[in-house]
Amino acid sequence: MKVIISNSSPDPIYEQITRQVKAQIISGDLAEGQVLPSIRRLAHDLQISVITTKRAYDELEKEGFINTVGGKGTYVAVQNPELLREKKMKIVEEKLAQAVDEAKLMGIGEDQIIHMLQLLFQEDE
């Protein structure tokens, strides 16, 4: 598991952790069933509060990314392929929404955006 904390980021630290862990689970860098460091271990490693790491883990557990087995540790949860696809779709959607917001700010229209996307797709082929 790789987590990089930025103290100058406006995002709360627990959010920085959840975002990075989610990305690694979705990309498969963290495999199903893999053991994650304990809350205390991670807090110590990152030199942050235990409460912050606990909150990050709680959030990840609530969203179904990880499981905590009492007394045994925390594991990457078994991911339902459909759910995983949906989660990935959501990420794409969020990024597109960001792009659309930026475009609106600059007065770039729908047609232009679609054209840009087509060009980007073609580049990859």
Binding site for another protein (CB under 8 A): 7, 10, 12-14, 40-41, 43-44, 47-52, 55
CB of 44 to another protein, least distance (A): 5
- Measured distance CA(10)–CA(6) in Å, rounded: 9
CB of 41 to another protein, least distance (A): 7
Question: Which of residues 31 and 50 has its CB atom nearest to another protein in the complex?
Answer: 50
What residues does 73 pair with on adjacent strands?
A: 69
Asked if residue 67 lies in contact with residue 25, where contact means CB atoms within 8 angstroms, the answer is no
The total of other beta-carbon atoms located within 10 Å of residue 95's CB is 10
Query: Tokens for 58?
Result: 């709680």
Question: Which of residues 19 and 95 has its CB atom nearest to another protein in the complex?
Answer: 19
Question: Which of residues 25 and 52 has its CB atom nearest to another protein in the complex?
Answer: 52
- Measured distance CA(38)–CA(102) in Å, rounded: 39
CB of 50 to another protein, least distance (A): 5
